[in-house]
């Protein structure tokens, strides 16, 4: 059945295989270790805040050894943010230069133009002279905006 779709079917098989191995398999194999940690944390929380409730939390079942392949031992240093071995100082959300925004904006406008140019270029011969004139009008409309940005010195990096 997949063979009817040719290469797309093969791609689908590969995609499913990839998703299973990279996402589902590690998730399921690490579940026992993570459940141990979570239940330990839950027990600690209950013991400190609601001591009598911890009786009602059942103990975790003993997972078979083959399910305990993927280790999960979090500790504060291990889960800390990586900054080449140093302790992080300050937050990671910094203010970016606004000039990047201008470039991105101009890019968006011209990128839309390019998207429309591609199918025109593919069907160049059929569209002929009339097509050329239409496309030139289209390009002109967008380039007006580009020239406006240029004249306003938006693209200068000071």
Partner 1 sequence: MEVGEVYSSRQLDETEGEAINELIARSQQTIPDPDQWLDEELKRNILLTSVDAMIDWARRSSMWPVVCFPACCAFEFITTEASRFDLSRFGMEIIRGSPRQADLMITAGTLTWKMAPQVKRIYDQMAEPKWVIAMGACAISGGIFRSSYSVVPGYNRIIPVDVYVPGCPPRPEALVHGIRMLHHKISKMSIAREAK
Residues forming the site for partner 1 (CB under 8 A): 65-66, 68-69, 71, 73, 75, 77-78, 80, 82, 84-91
Q: In the complex with partner 1, which residue's Cβ is closer, 77 or 108?
A: 77
Shortest reach from residue 95's CB to partner 1, in Å: 13
Shortest reach from residue 68's CB to partner 1, in Å: 4
Q: In the complex with partner 1, which residue's Cβ is closer, 8 or 69?
A: 69
Which residues, 6+ apart, have CB-to-CB distance to 141 below 8 Å?
A: none
Q: In the complex with partner 1, which residue's Cβ is closer, 54 or 68?
A: 68
Q: In the complex with partner 1, which residue's Cβ is closer, 81 or 97?
A: 81
Shortest reach from residue 57's CB to partner 1, in Å: 23
Q: In the complex with partner 1, which residue's Cβ is closer, 3 or 89?
A: 89
Q: Which of 40, 104, 124 is nearest to 75 (CA)?
A: 40
Shortest reach from residue 15's CB to partner 1, in Å: 22
Shortest reach from residue 86's CB to partner 1, in Å: 6
Q: Concatenate the DSSP letters of all residues of the chain into one string.
A: -GGGGTHHHHHHHHHHHHHIIIIIHHHHHHHHHHHHHHHHHHHHHHHHH-GGGGGGSPPPP---GGG--S-----TTTTSPPSTTSPP-S-S--PPPHHHHHHHHHHHHHHHHHHHHHHHHHTHHHHHHHHHHHHHHHHHHHHHHHHHHHHTTTT---
Residues, the chain: 158
């Amino acid at each position: 059945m997949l063979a009817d779709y040719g290469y797309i079917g093969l791609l689908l098989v590969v995609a499913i295989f990839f998703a299973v191995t990279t996402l589902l398999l590690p998730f399921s194999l690490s579940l026992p270790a993570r459940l141990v940690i979570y239940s330990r944390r839950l027990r600690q929380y209950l013991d400190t805040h609601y001591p009598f409730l911890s009786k009602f939390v059942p103990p975790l079942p003993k997972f078979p050894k083959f399910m305990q392949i993927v280790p999960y031992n979090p500790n504060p240093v291990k889960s800390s943010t990586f900054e080449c071995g140093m302790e992080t100082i300050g937050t990671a959300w910094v203010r970016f230069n606004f000039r990047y925004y201008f470039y991105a904006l101009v890019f968006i406008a011209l990128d839309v133009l390019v998207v429309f140019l591609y199918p025109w270029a593919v069907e160049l011969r059929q569209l002929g002279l009339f097509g050329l004139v239409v496309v030139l009008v289209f390009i002109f409309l967008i380039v007006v905006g580009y020239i406006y940005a240029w004249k306003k010195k938006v693209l200068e990096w000071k």
